[in-house]
Structures are given as structure tokens and as C-alpha cells.
Structure 1
Amino acid sequence: MLGGKRILLIIGGGIAAYKSLDLIRRLRERGAAVTPVLTKAAEQFVTPLSVAALAGQNVHRDLFDLTQEAEMGHIQLSRVADLLVVAPATADLMAKMATGRADDLASTLLLATDTPVLIAPAMNVRMWDHPATQRNLATLRGDGVAVCGPNEGDMACGEFGPGRMSEPLEIVDAIAARLADGPLKGRRIVVTSGPTHEPIDPVRYIANRSSGAQGTAIARALAALGAEVVFVTGPAQVAPPEGVTVHKVETARQMRDAALAALPADVVICAAAVADWRMAEEAASKIKKTRDGLPTLSFAENPDILAEISQMETGRPALVVGFAAETDDVEANATAKRARKGCDWIVANDVSPGTGIMGGAENAVTLISEEGAEAWPRMTKDRVARRIAEKIADALRAG
């Protein structure tokens, strides 16, 4: 799937650099040519010899290489590639990219290129969460840099949280999606999917019957058309799609924060079945049965992600799509929801008992837009997803 593609791989200085060795092998298995660049710090984690052996090419390390500078080799390197990949992208490398610094070979290549760039961040969780890193991330996304990960998990430093570099195969899928030729190439799309779980106490929660299958299918269809997809998913019954950046969340508030952090984007699709309410106060310990009667549960409203994004005064996506799962008066309720939320489209479906749609393999939807209602026949969720992705491509093409 990557046959003939030329990847310039910049390896940053972090413990995750060891994964770059497997990444090179995976890319070459798929037919890509990999030109490696090592930062000084990266050489503390992987050796130039091991990188060169796996890549089958010389490793580039120094900005001022007298054997190449007569031909401005540091500029040529960045312009003959189909894609620049930074893995791991450390906090320092991201800061250099965001501020336009060029004090070594890696940062100079990144500044001197007009080739697409994809980064796979890797750092300590506190460094990832730091406002400076998040500002730099927003700047890079605004500049069109694609981002793969990071994942959440155990760190080499003993802490746990977001900051682990994506696995090599995840990065390969992201590279393939970034290089895919399709009508959505160069477009960034955020998709929310699945249910949310709102804790009642440490062992119970409020949820719904959403499987996440439709949102997952939509993300997969968008990636197949070349989009860079950020997939924010609650605890779904289906595995997330490949070739997209995945953010796993539990609650509506976490989903809202992850969706907003993924902006700016060309399109946002709110396919998640977000719980409307949460506990006003989550019990710190399991609520026990007592002889005093049933417990009293007090609720609070969850944030309205669709309305918040639809009504943004600055930075609003060109297209915002919501979903309406209804059990009666489907078209009327969905039309009212579109007006109330301020989104561009609503994808409405009848999830009343007996339809088999909630959690099933098929769907029957009506697309509500400014032009009116467009009823689609019942079909598989994959076919619904492809049709939605194609309509999005048509809408963006039409401006």
C-alpha cells in the first residue's frame, strides 16, 4: 500500500526511539523507501548503525555535511520525500516546529519543506499536558501537521497517562491515510462515537445501548477517502478503526474536552450517543441497600458538545454534523434538533424497539439539512458510512 513512497523519518531523542526501528522495518515491508535522520539526542537511544542497517540507507545526522552542502543537501532531503514523519516527536522537537527554530538538521529540514508532515508525539504525561505543549500542538495542527497519537499507558518513568508513542503499525496506518489519494486528502475531520458512561458510584454508571458501530464505520470511510481523522470514542463494543488517531474517553465531559482539543478541523461529526445527564455528585463508595428505602439520585446536565461546536464564534468547522436517535416523530424531532443546536446536518434514525438498529448491523437514516429531509433506504452501517463520507467530500468540494 506504500509501494514507491519515499518517507523521510526524523527520529527524536526519547526512549520511544526504539520503536522507530520496527517502524522502519514495517514501512519497508510495505514497499516504502525510508531516509532516516537522527537528532543528537536520538543517538543516546538508538545507534546510527542499527538505523542504517534497517533502512538500507545512510543516516543523516549533521546540518553541515561538507560532502552534500555544495548541493544544499539539507534542503533537498526535505523536498524529495512524499512525507516527513517525526517519530518520536519530543516536546522539544514540537516546540521547535511550532516556533520555527532551525538549529540542527532535523528542525532545519522541517522548516525548509513544503512536503506534508506527520508527527507521532512521545513524552512524559506531565510534559504532554503542559499548556505550552498543548499550545504548540494547536499551532502545528493549524499549520496542517498531521498527528498520530499519543496513546495512554505506562511510561518508562513509572507514571501513567497520555504520552506513549503510537505503536509502529498505528503509525504505518496513519502514514498510509496521509498519503492516500482521495477527495478528502488534506482534510482534518473529528468524529465522536460510542456511548458515554456517567458514574453513579465506583461500580455503577448511567449509559445507553449504543455500540459505536456507526461512528466507527464513518471514521473508517473518511480515512479511506484520504481524510486525517481524529476519533474520540466512548466505551464502544467495537474496536476503533485503523489509520486514525484514537482518543478513548469515558464520560461526556471527557469527550467534550477531547473533541475541542482536536480542533481546528474542517468537519466535526458528532455520532456519539452522549448521556444527557450525569450525577450531580458521584458517590465516593458503593451505594448500599438499606431499610430506609430507595436512594435519591440527583442529576445534572452534561455539556452539549454538538451545540457548543456548532455555535463557535471563531474557528467553527466548515461542516458540523450531528446525529439524532429517535423513537417517535423522527423527522420532526430531528429537524427541531438541527435548528436548536445550530449544526449543518442531522443524521436521524429510528431506534424504537423492534427496529434492531441500536446495536445492530444495519441502519435506516434520514439526512436533515437546510435543503430539507432526504430519506435513505435501510442498508448496512458500512454503506451508510460510505454514503455520508461521499456527501461530505461533495459538500467540501462545492465550498
Structure 2
Amino acid sequence: METPIAGTIVRDKIRESKLACVGLASIRELNRLVGEIEEESGQRFIRMEMGIPGLDPPEIAVDGEICALKKGVGAIYPPFDGIAYLKYEISRFVKRFLDTDVQPAHCLPTVGSMQGCFLSMMMAGRRIKGRDGILFIDPGFPVNKKQAQVLGLPRESFDVYDYRGDRLHDKLEPYLSTGRIGALMYSNPNNPAWICFTEKELGIIGELCTRYDVIALEDLAYFGMDFRQDTSRPGTPPFIPTVARYTDNYILLISSSKSFSMAGQRIGMTAISDRLFDSTGDGLATWFGSDRFGYAYIFGGMYSLSSGVCHSSQYGLAKLLEAVNDGRYNFVEAVKEYGDRARTMKRLFTENGFSLVYDRDEDQPLADGFYFTVAYPGFTGAQLVEELLYYGISAISLETTGSSRTEGVRACVSLTGKDRFEELGDRLAKFDADHQCGRRAMG
């Protein structure tokens, strides 16, 4: 059977990878495998397995970092809880786009938002004795569960898609009422489904977190990227939805990788609610030397993980945030191209026998954004991941994200520019034609 990528090469590289199941491989494992197939075959894949920004970083950030380096910051350890300039601009950013007040002292840079997630789970799981569980509102970023596992924290999860709106309350409360959950985690917009929680749903989460003293870990990796409404104007409604308006038990985890195209600089932002920062927990002192949450977070948790975030990157991000906060740079407009790509790519898939898996936000169509999800008749998600490799297309299985929709895969749009849409359409048409005839490349 002839496929866009030679079957012998794909099979050989899969065998050499020693992966137990290609379709259930981690993002990084799949990324490496696809790279090896590309190198051996000489054929470029449509790379949709990894959420790598496909846009250049803003010049403001680049110039800010260069200027800082020329002033010699590269020779100086940064404050490990962040330079004052950046902490101030993070606080402004949270106020102007989330309409939420967080003191600059409680705003911290991290080595990417992933480190922020790791640190927040570590602290939340040890804040109160006996309350060490992490509840994941799935589907979600697979590595977050790996982080909880590495930390030795018990974890539970459920796929939220069938529990939208008022149904979320009755699904969520039994988990939190056990007294064993220290924090719950979700992304909004959601990775991988791209569903976006409504204000009602965030209100439910916030109210229950307050009632049961659980910390909401809100992953805002795709900040402002629900393009259905204009949230790009600083200090002007509509503000970006957040649980912070409904509880004081929150930690906001904001990435600079996607919204600001600064993935390579490994700098994220964490904003801890003022009340939570000043609170105490009877489990903290044993692990972190203090029962005060904020102090333990910085001097016990953060200090043990890093000597600080890259000094020059902090200045670059601070310069960019200042421009965003002042209204001189529209970061949302800069990344709207992802929505345009998603709209076209969804059409190409659905015209060639695929169907969307997650397709609605309650009563309205899902937004077009950084990710979308698809399935093909007769395949599980894991099988589809492997079969698509023969057609030069890479994606990850929804099963690895905690989704109950095991028939689907997640596709990321970031690395597929308009110049490759025709090629994607041709490969999908070939895939559909082959499988309409009952042929399978992987045997």
C-alpha cells in the first residue's frame, strides 16, 4: 500500500522507538519519533502533536531583553521571586485584563508556566494535613498528571464535557466534600478540547472552592485566545473570564509561550490571591519551614526549584507587559492567526471523512483557536495517531489527556501555515480514499 510516507520507514522507526503503544506516547516521545521519520524519509510532516508557537516573539520583548543583556544582567543572579519591574507589570496585567487585584509581591515569574503548575501543586498538596489530593477537570495537559505523580500526590479526574453548566456543581461537589482534595486544576481555554468555561461555571467552581477550602489552580496558558469576543483592550470590558472573581482560593498560572510567542525564553507568571498568600496551613512547616502560605511558597518551594528565572527574559517580558498594559501593543490581535488556521484546518478534516469530537460550548459552537479535536470512523484515538503517521500527519490521542472520548485525537494548528493547507488537504483526501476502500497502512 502506497502512502505519502514510505511504510517501511514508519514501521522501522516505530520499532526502533521501543514504544509500547505509539498512539499512547507522550507528546515529547511522539515529537522525537516524528522528527526521526522526517529525517529518514526527507518528507515534512504536518506537525500537530506539540503546541509550539508558530509566530515570532514581539520585537518589544526582544529589544527589552537585548537591552538588559547589554547592561550586564547576564552576570547577576536575579531575585528568585522576580524583579520588581516585572512583578509590578504582572499585577497591572491581571488587573487590566482579568479585573482582579493581586499585589505585586504576590506575582511571581516561573521557569515557564509548567514550573508554576508543579510548584503550585506541590504547595497546595501539602498545605493542610490529610488534604493532599489534586482533582483534574479533564481533558487536560497530560504532563500535569505526571507532575502530580512525581510529587507523590493522589489524583482524581473526570471529563467535564458531559457536565457543563449547572450539572458541573453536582459532579464537582462529591469530590471536594471528601476533605481529601487540596487543589483542583483546569485550563481555560481548555487544552486539548478548546472548550471555555462560562461565568456560571467559574462561579460554581469558585463557590465550591471557598466552601471546602480547596485551591483553584487556573491554567491560563492560552490567555485571551477565545476569539469570539474582544478582550484585547486593557481596563475595558469584557474582561477575560476567571475563577478569581468568585473565590479568594486561587492561583493563576499565565504562560508567555502562546499568547506572547515567547516559548523559548521559558518564563511564565503566577499570581496568588492576596488572601491565600497571607493564609496559613498546618501541613506547610514540616515541608517548607513556615506555616505561612506565601512565605513557604517563595522561600520553601520556589527557592528549592530554581535560583531564579533568566534575568534578561524577565526584562523582556516586563517591557512587553508594560506595552500591553498601556495599550501600545495588542497581543490578542497578534495571535488571531491561530483562529484563522483552525477554521480552515477543521474544514479540511471534515471534508475528508473526519468529525469534530468536542464541538460545542454548551449552546454555542466551539471557538476556533490553538487546538481542535477530530475522529475518523473505525479508529480509536490511539490507532488514528499511528495510522496518520503514514500520511505525514502527527497528532496526540485524546486518551492521554484524560478525555473519555477515546476515539479522538488533538490537533494543534500552530506549525501549519497557509502555505501547507493544500498539502494537508491532499494528504487527508488520500487518507479518506484509502480507508473508504478498507485499506489500513499499519496493518
Task: Name the TM tier (shorter chain).
Answer: under 0.3
- The TM-score with structure 1 as length reference comes to 0.27
Give the structure with the larger helix fraction.
2
Larger RCO (CA within 8 A; separation ≥ 6): 2
The structure with the largest alpha-carbon Rg is 1
TM-score between both structures, scaled by the size of structure 2: 0.25
**Which structure dedicates a bigger proportion of its chain to strand?**
1
